[in-house]
Amino acid sequence: MEKLQEAITLVEMGHVQEGIQLVEVLRKEADHQTLYDIARLYENWGHLDEALKIVTQLRALYPEEGDLTIFAAELLIEMEKEDEALEILGQISAYDESYVQSLLLQADLYFMQGLHEVAEQKLLKARKSNPEEPVLAYALGELYLQRGDFLKAAAFFKEAEPIANTLPEGDLYLRLAESLSRGGKFEEALEYYKKGLEIKKELHSLFGYGLTAFKTGEFKTAITALTELKDLDPDFTTLYPLLSSAYEEEGALDEALEAVREGIAKDEFNEDLKVRAAKLLYRMGNQEEGERFARDVIALNPSNADAVLHLSSQLKKEERFDDIIELLTHVKEQGDETPEMAWDLAYAYKEAEEFEAARGQYESAYPNFKNHEVFLEEYGMFLIEEGEPEKASTVLKHALSLNPNLYHLEETISRLEEF
C-alpha cells in the first residue's frame, strides 16, 4: 500500500510516467484489493482501458460481486460503449445488493437513448424492490420532468424530500418548483422556488421563479427575481420581454421600455423585443419611433404577423389607408398574408375607395371569418354600398344569428328585403 501511495504522490508532483511505471510493477504482484485500488487509480488518470482490464479480471474471480459489474459498466459508459454496459448490467441478480443501482444505471442509459418507456420500467422495477428508497423517487421525478409529466414528477420529488440535503444544494426544491409550475400549480411552485433559491442562486430557476410569479399576478416579485437574474447574467436575453411585461402590468411604462431597450442592446435581431418596443412606444404616444421598430421587424421578416398586424392597426387609427395598402400588398407578395391581413387590406381598400380591390379581399377573407359577427357586419354593409342587397341580407342575417343583440341589423335587413 505504501508503494501505491508513493506512485500517487509521484503523479501528483508531476512525475506522471514514473508514477505509472511504479503502478505497473505493483500490478504484477498485487493482491485482489490492491488490484481494485489500481483500477480506480487508472480510472482517475483516464486510463480506462487498463482499468477495465483489471476489473474484467476481478469479475472473473468474483462473478457474484455486483459492485464489480457496476464498476465495469461505469467504465464502459465513460468509453461510450453503452450497449456493452447494458449487457453486463442485465447480468446482476435481483438478490444482489447492487441490483437497484444497476437498474438506475440502465434507466439512465435507456433515457439517453430516447427509450423513455424502457427507462421508466427499469426505475419502477427498482422501486418495487425498494419502495422506501428516496433516491428512486428522485430518479422517477427527473424522468417524468424530462418527459413532460409534470405533476407526476412533482409527486415523486415530494417523496424524495428526505434526501434533499444529500443532493446538490437546492436541486430538489428547484426541480419540484419547476414541475409544479409547468404543471400549472403556480402558487405552490412559488414556495418551493423561494426555498430552493435561498440555498442556491440558479439562473434558469430564477427565470422560472419570475415567470411563475408573473403568472400568479405577483408582478413585483417577478420584477425582483428577473432584475436579480439580469444582474447575475445580463446575456440571459429571455428575461427582458418578461421583465418588460411585468413593469407594464405595474403601470411602469418607462421601466418597461427601458427593459426592452436593454434586451435589444444584447440581442439586436430579437423580433419579439422589437415588437414589444413598438407596442409600448405606441401606447406611450410615440408613434414615430413605434412605427420605426415595427417596420424594422417587418423588413427583416415580413412573415412576422404580430408586427404586421399591429402596425396595420395603428395605421388604421391614423387613417393612413394608402400606407396600409402598401404594407399589406408587400407582405402578400411575399406569400405571408394571414386571414387577418386580408381583412385589414379589404377595409383599407374600401376606405381608399378602391372598391373592386376591396371586394376581392373581402371574398378572400370571408371563408375564415364567416362566423365572425364583426367581419360579417362590415362585409354586409360593404355589399349594400356595392348594390348587392340579396347577398348583403344573407350575410347580415348570419351575423344576427350569431349575436341576437345586434338589434340595429334587424331594421337594415328589413329594408333590404323590401327591394
Whether 169 shows a pLDDT value over 80: the answer reads no
Concatenating the DSSP letter of every residue in 271-337 gives HHHHHHHHHHHHHTT-HHHHHHHHHHHHHH-TT-HHHHHHHHHHHHHTT-HHHHHHHHHHHHHTT--
Domains of the chain: which residue ranges?
A: 269-356, 370-419
The pLDDT value given to residue 104 = 84
**Topology (CATH) of 269-356:** 1.25.40
User: Would you state the pLDDT for residue 42?
Assistant: 81
pLDDT digits 0-9 by tens, 57-71 = 889 888 888 889 888
To the nearest whole percent, how much of the chain has pLDDT over 90? 58
Q: What is the mean pLDDT of residues 276-283?
A: 96
Nearest to 73 by CA among 65, 41, 26: 65
CA terminus-to-terminus distance, the chain: 111
Report whether pLDDT(1) > 70: no
> What pLDDT is recorded for position 130?
80
Global pTM value:
0.76
Q: How far is CA 8 from the centre of its chain?
A: 46
Give residue 6's pLDDT band: very low, low, confident or very high (50, 70, 90). confident
pLDDT digits (tens, 9 = 90+) for 24-51: 777 878 789 888 888 888 888 888 988 8
Burial degree of 28 (CB within 10 A; 0-12, 13-18, 19+): exposed
| pLDDT one-digit tens code per residue, 177-230 | 999 999 999 999 999 999 999 998 999 999 999 999 999 999 999 999 999 999
Mean pLDDT, residues 256-275 taken together: 95
Q: In angstroms, rounded to a whole number, what is the distance separating the alpha carbons of residues 239 and 16? A: 48
Statement: residue 98 has pLDDT above 90: no
- In tens, the pLDDT along 314-339 reads 999 999 999 999 999 999 998 888 99
User: Which pLDDT value is given to residue 163?
Assistant: 80
Segment 32-35 long-range contacts (CB within 8 Å, at least 24 positions apart):
32/58, 32/61, 32/62, 34/1, 34/4
Least confident of 50-64, 142-156, 288-302: 50-64
What is the average pLDDT score of the chain?
Answer: 91
- Beta carbons within 8 Å of 231's beta carbon, 6+ residues apart: none
Q: Is 371 a residue whose pLDDT tops 70?
A: yes
Mean pLDDT of 340-344: 96
C-alpha cell at 343: 381583412
91 falls in which pLDDT band (50, 70, 90)? confident
Cβ-in-10-Å burial (0-12, 13-18, 19+) of 320 comes to middle
